[in-house]
Amino acid sequence: MPKNAIDAGFVDFILSPEQIAKELSDLLKLPYTSLSASDIDLGKEAELRRIFIILHNKKGVDFSLYKQTTISRRILRRLALNHQKSVEEYIALLRANNNEVEQLFFPLRPNIQNW
């Protein structure tokens, strides 16, 4: 079953049990990991617009037409997986890293790490 989950892209990390414990501990320390879907607020609307512009420029898709809670959850998930402490940090990552744009655009691709 784990291989099927990996192949299907439903896995964020492939880690040893020790690394899983550390990753979960690190994720729980991030300020926004305790938010529920109804609490999601990425802050300034301008920050969200900048993310949409990056996605539009690099992928040709207008994410401003998506449901705000859907795209907000996706962005918060990527913030957590990249251990970003702010939306500003994440915007800088998107500008510098085309792979991260791909990960945000196609959310069901695993980030495989060797262990």
Q: What is the pLDDT along the chain (115 residues), one digit of tens a residue?
A: 567 766 766 666 788 888 878 877 777 776 666 554 444 455 577 888 899 999 999 988 888 888 887 888 888 888 888 888 888 899 999 999 999 999 898 864 444 444 3
Handedness of CA 61, 27, 8, 16 (dihedral sign): positive
Is there a contact between 30 and 80 (Cβ–Cβ < 8 Å)?
Answer: yes
**What does pTM read for this prediction?**
0.65
In DSSP notation, 31-98 reads TTTT--GGG---S-HHHHHHHHHHHHHHH---GGGS-HHHHHHHHHHHHHHTT-SSHHHHHHHHHH-H
d(CA 13, CA 22): 12
